[in-house]
């Protein structure tokens, strides 16, 4: 199965905006759900792009499952993010003005895409996520983020995402010259909290 490209939009039109925010929803969520979160972010002058996962999920199994088990959905999901980025670039938005926000499965997909395609982006906020696979294949990740700011927020424990994977992801991104801030909340649960939104605004959408 592969995803059908279906990008929902909000905010300024791509032709008018200088910045774009790509928002990636979680398992069972929708593009419209994650777009509605943008009202809490400092992104009034951004074009908003939210690809919709076919059947509401980017890949079938846990992000900690062997990668082969999540194929071909996973490769198609990464490609969907690539195509969404390309849509912004073709509209004249520079890579350093492209931002990302992902939650849960969407945060994992965001981080996997970024680690595979490191370059100077505007910034990224990933809430409850980490790079994908039962083992981390460091050879998949290359490039230089040129100090792109990245915010990682999570709960410890979280029943989907072990905090160790969040720390490992932060270290990989730092090795690739990202400016990473991670914040771990004790027993917060699998959701986005107000402070994470505030930190995303301070660090990324400033």
Residue pLDDT, tens place only, 189-204: 899 999 999 999 999 9
For 125, 130, 200, the CA distances from 193, given in Å and listed in that order, are 13, 18, 11
Provide the pLDDT for residue 166: 98
Provide the pLDDT for residue 1: 75
pTM of the model: 0.97
Q: Which residues of the chain have pLDDT under 50?
A: none
Could you give the angle at the alpha carbon of 152 between the alpha carbons of 146 and 156, nearest 5°?
A: 150
Closest CA to 70 of 11, 2, 162: 2
Q: Which residue(s) pair with 103 in the sheet?
A: 127
């Amino acid at each position: 199965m592969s995803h059908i490209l279906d990008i929902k939009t909000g905010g300024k039109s791509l032709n008018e905006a200088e910045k774009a925010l790509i928002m990636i929803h979680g398992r069972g969520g929708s593009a419209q759900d994650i777009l509605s979160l943008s009202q809490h972010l400092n992104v009034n002058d951004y074009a908003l792009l939210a690809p919709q996962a076919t059947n509401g999920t980017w890949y079938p199994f846990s992000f900690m499952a062997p990668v082969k088990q999540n194929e071909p959905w996973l490769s198609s999901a990464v490609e969907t993010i690539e195509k969404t980025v390309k849509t912004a670039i073709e509209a004249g938005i520079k890579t350093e003005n492209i931002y990302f926000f992902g939650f849960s499965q969407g945060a994992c997909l965001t981080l996997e895409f970024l680690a595979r395609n490191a370059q100077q982006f505007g910034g990224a906020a990933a809430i409850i996520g980490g790079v994908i696979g039962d083992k981390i294949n460091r050879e998949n990740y290359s490039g230089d983020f040129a100090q792109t700011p990245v915010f990682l927020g999570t709960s410890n424990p979280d029943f989907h995402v072990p905090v160790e994977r969040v720390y490992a992801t932060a270290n990989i991104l730092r090795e690739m010259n990202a400016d990473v801030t991670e914040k771990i909340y004790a027993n917060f649960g699998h959701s986005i909290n107000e402070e994470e939104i505030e930190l995303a605004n301070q660090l990324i959408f400033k």
